[in-house]
Structure 1
Amino acid sequence: MTTHAISSALAETRAWRLAADQLRRIDTGWDDPVARLREILDCKRWMERQDHLPRLARLAGLLDPAMTRKQFWAVLVPAERAGGRTRVTDLEILARDLPAGAAQADRMPLTVVADNIRSAFNLGGIFRTAECLGAAAVWLCGYSADPGHPQVAAAALGTVGAVPWRSFERIGPALAELREAGVWTVALETVAGAPEVGALPWRFPSAIVIGNERFGLDPETVDACDTAARIPSYGVKNSLNVVTALAICAWDARLAFQN
């Protein structure tokens, strides 16, 4: 790589990091509408001037003072990833792996559908959990990063090559395909009145549908699934980390499949 190319790449990375920093400031101060309006407009103008980075300039077109926080994250998350915000922790301790192919006989007909997962680290954990519990596939929807992202690959600890995966721009077509294939779909969400995970009448093939760490699944996504299920909370918080919640639900599916 030439000196000019290296300099250009560094300048591009710096621009994305500046964008991500500005967007995170907006997210942190979201509850102050006056400051939010000012900062969104300032950030939008700055991003529009980055015409040497067409993708960054295009993202500016999505910034709108009237946008919801959920819509805002559709700008924030790509900027964070492009800026190289990668912090992976708790990756050093590994259990002994089975020989390659040894676990294939224990796969169950379960697909994990991950919609708009913000954290690439969580996505790596989703792959690791899916592989460990014998899921057949992982489907990634919306802005969920794929295994090409270095943090996904690092957090997955080598499992991305062991679990088939697909990517969808939107979750609707993914659910439609599952429905057409006769797959029973479970929306894992804190829905009032939904059965607890342990009370689900599992049937296979099935799919567990999980959503964004903050916003969860859209109501229309929950409605499109065959059932919703919840994990009861007995503490102050009413929900778990998305990877932890998936592990609980997938383990329940595993028990049902084996029995």
Structure 2
Amino acid sequence: MLHPELLTVEDPADPRLADYVSLTDVALRSRHEPAKGLYIAESSTVLARALAAGHRPRSVLAAPRWVPEVERMLADAPGAADAAVPVYVAAEPVLEAITGFHVHRGALAAMHRPPLPTVDDVVAGARRVAVLEDIVDHTNVGAAFRSAAALGVDAVLVTPRCADPLYRRSVRVSMGTVFQVPWTRVDPWPDGVAALRTAGFVTAALALDDSAISLDELAADPPDRLAMVLGAEGDGLKARTVAACDLVVRIPMAGGVDSLNVAAAAAVAFWATRVGRPA
């Protein structure tokens, strides 16, 4: 089990709190890149899901009223090593001065990033896979993961230029489901389409294209193993990606609307093609 080491802090400039200082997205991009091996888990819900997935905290920052819950979560962490975890306890005004925003979700934790698995390991046994190509908005990445978890997608692959699923905003919007759904980066891309085909997947590009079939047609007779590829906001999928995929699929639209936000499109596609959906 993990043992919380409670440490009261009153000075926002305390050097021990460097991981938490001014947590804007820009700061996180520069200070918490994957190479450094850290990400920030925000809220007690997200921290609980990270711990349940076996991720290890480097430290926790919390207001006094959240300390009992943090202690319980650390003690209950499955498979955790018998080690001490610094829990920095600070009053609400001090927390806001440290982080740059009002901390009202329970706790923040600086977490060690686990090593990314291989694509083969992630898709082994999967029947539904989502591929996020160059989606740069962290909110949309988090929302896509949440839909994937809720609607039976077994794994998510993100391309090299896609936003990091473990950035604070992505994790928060996903409600911690980035820890539930197996994922990794697929590189190179779109060469990875061929690897998915070799693994037995039919690849479907969601795009506006003259050759596209309706999502209704795909859902009426879905393949046993399906990888759905969704593209970036605005530009959509690259032409090379669309050409590499087995199918091009569009979501039927009404009201003069030609497309949906990528997170909304993902939810619709995941629901329509979910395993076990009645024909």
Spell out the pairing of 1:8-157 with structure 2 (5 A cutoff).
Answer: 81-82=29-30, 109-157=127-175
Q: Percent same amino acid at aligned positions? A: 32
Q: Hey, what does 2:217 align to over in structure 1? A: 199
Secondary structure at the counterpart of residue 272 of structure 2: helix
Separation in structure 2 between the aligned mates of residue 173 and residue 223 of structure 1, nearest angstrom: 11
- 1:170 deviates by 3.8
Shift of the 108–253 alpha-carbon distance from structure 1 to 2, 3 Å rule, reads farther
Query: SS of the residue aligned with 2:190?
Result: helix
Whole-angstrom CA distance in 1 between matches of 2:151 and 2:14: 46
**3-state SS of 1:254 partner:** coil
Amino acid at match of 2:269: C
Residues 199-254 of structure 1 show CA distances to partners (whole Å, capped at 9, x for unaligned) of 11310211110001111011111111110000122223311011111111111111
Is the Cα–Cα contact under 8 Å of residues 108 and 134 in structure 1 kept in the other structure?
A: no
Q: Counterpart in 2 of 1:20?
A: none
Gaps of 5+ in 1: 18-78, 85-90, 92-96, 102-106
Post-superposition offset of 1:2: 7.4
Match 2:247 to one of 227, 236, 242: 227
Q: Which amino acid aligns with 1:126?
A: A
> Is the 1:114–1:144 Cα contact (8 Å) retained in structure 2?
yes
Does the 8 Å CA contact 1:143/1:169 hold for their aligned counterparts? no
Structure 2 letter corresponding to 1:197? L
State the shift of 1:157 in Å: 0.3
Give the match for residue 191 of structure 2: 173
Q: Select the structure that is richer in strand.
A: 2
Match of 1:172, as an amino acid? P
Gaps of 5+ in 2: 1-12, 33-42, 44-48, 54-124
> What is the TM-score with the length of structure 1 in the denominator?
0.58
| The one of 175, 182, 188 aligned to 2:206 | 188
Name the structure where helix makes up a greater proportion of residues. 1
Secondary structure of 1:117 counterpart? coil
Q: 1:177 to 1:108 in 2, by over 3 A?
A: closer
Amino acid at match of 1:149: Y
CA–CA distance in 1 between the matches of 2:14 and 2:188? Answer: 39
Does the 8 Å CA contact 2:155/2:182 hold for their aligned counterparts?
yes
1:212 aligned partner? 232
User: Which one is further off, 156-165 or 227-236?
Assistant: 227-236
Q: SS of the residue aligned with 1:171?
A: coil
- What residue is the counterpart of 2:270 in the other structure? 250
Give the root-mean-square deviation of aligned CA atoms. 3.4
SS of the residue corresponding to residue 255 of structure 2 reads coil
Letter of the 2:233 counterpart: E
2: CA distance, partners of 1:118 / 1:147: 10
Cα-to-partner distance string for 1:144-183 (whole Å, 9 max, x where unaligned):
1223211110110011111000113442232122011111
Measure, in 2, the Cα distance between the counterparts of 1:160 and 1:249.
Answer: 19
**Structure 1 residues 211 and 120: CA distance shift in structure 2, 3 A:** same
Return the alpha-carbon distance in structure 2 between the equivalents of residues 245 and 231 of structure 1. Answer: 8
| Residues in 1 aligned to 2:208 and 2:181: alpha-carbon distance in whole angstroms | 27
Number of aligned residues: 174
Partner of 1:236: 256
